[in-house]
Amino acid sequence: MHRLTWQQRLSRFDVKASPYLYISPFFILFAVVGLFPLAYTAWVSMHEWHLIGGQGAFVGLQNFTDVLGQPRFTVALRNTFSIFLLSSVPQVIAAIVIAYALDTNLRARTFWRMGVLLPYVVAPVAVSLIFSKLFADESGMLNALLGAVGIDGIGWHSSAFASHVAISTMVNFRWTGYNTLIFLAAMQAIPRELYEAAIVDGAARWRTFFSITIPMLRPTIIFVVITSTIGGLQIFDEPRMYDTLGLGGPDRQWMTLTMYIYELGWGTQMNFGRAAAVSWLLFLIIVAIGLVNFAITRRIASSGTKGARK
């Protein structure tokens, strides 16, 4: 039996091991800055842990029980989902429509494509400060416009729903352009022969949009929906900067879960144990909703593929 030489063994090992070595830096970095903090947060959540005093006694799931019994946790959870739905759903729809418009034969297409990304470049703090003035209760531009047409001003900071609409508008302003470019790149990958064949058959523009563009965008829609879910449930900058105090309103009417985590860990309580417990609850919520979104969008995609085959 022919025995391999040392160089042949080294060459074979190199072929097998090289792909793993090339991708290992990412996984090593992810383990250090991702998995380790996640596991350490779970450890902290099961202890009495003060910001100044440090680690205390082991309490098991007591921090989770205490947090779930707090009314502010329920309020923060409600606010988070409300802002998430008001921002993510219109954002995805608007991004698809704008991307479809940019995919047509517009003049100065490069200018318009760069323009939709400009809000994403603006710092979140600057966006929050500008929009907090636009949505001010007494001196805001929107209330001034409403007063000019004889409509009473809206309490953008006193009403929970109105504050959620204002914060969602900030989120949509920043992220719609970013998602638009993702959809635009996916649209440009659609074969133009499909559109040409549809036009020859007499299909209108709206028909090609719903029969060709949307079905071909299903994988991209799945990606955008999942990433929007992850980002939308972790919103912090916009509600934090919506007023000067940064507490989520006097009645915490726009305080999100991330703001509640900040309040528990670095606010008056300085209770890292409870803050870590809320962090893990938020993590589990994001994972659960992400799996549900993935299952729903995958089923829609598979049903569309089966319909196309028939």
What is the token pair recorded at 256?
């999100």
pLDDT digits (tens, 9 = 90+) for 130-180: 888 888 887 778 888 888 888 888 888 888 899 999 999 999 998 999 999
Rounded Cα distance, 102 and 148, in Å: 35
Q: Which helix (H) or strand (E) holds 207?
A: helix 205-208
What pLDDT was estimated at residue 308? 47
3-state DSSP percent of the chain in helix, strand and coil, to 5: 75, 5, 25
Six token digits for residue 13? 């090992």
Q: Which is nearest to 175 in space by CA: 235, 256, 133?
A: 235
Q: Sketch the domain layout of the chain as residue ranges.
A: 6-58, 69-309
In angstroms, the CA 224 to CA 250 distance is 34
One of 3.20.20.70, 1.10.3720.10, 2.70.98.60, 3.10.105.10 is the CATH number of 69-309, namely: 1.10.3720.10
Residues of the chain whose pLDDT is less than 70?
1-4, 6-8, 297, 300-310
> What's the gap between Cα 289 and its chain centre?
12
pLDDT in the model for residue 154: 85
Question: What is the spatial distance between Cα 241 and Cα 54, in angstroms, rounded to a whole number?
Answer: 29
Rounded Cα–Cα distance for residues 147 and 120 (Å)? 31
Q: Tokens for 109? A: 């297409």
DSSP 267: S
Residue 267: exposed, middle, or buried by beta-carbon count in 10 A (0-12, 13-18, 19+)? middle
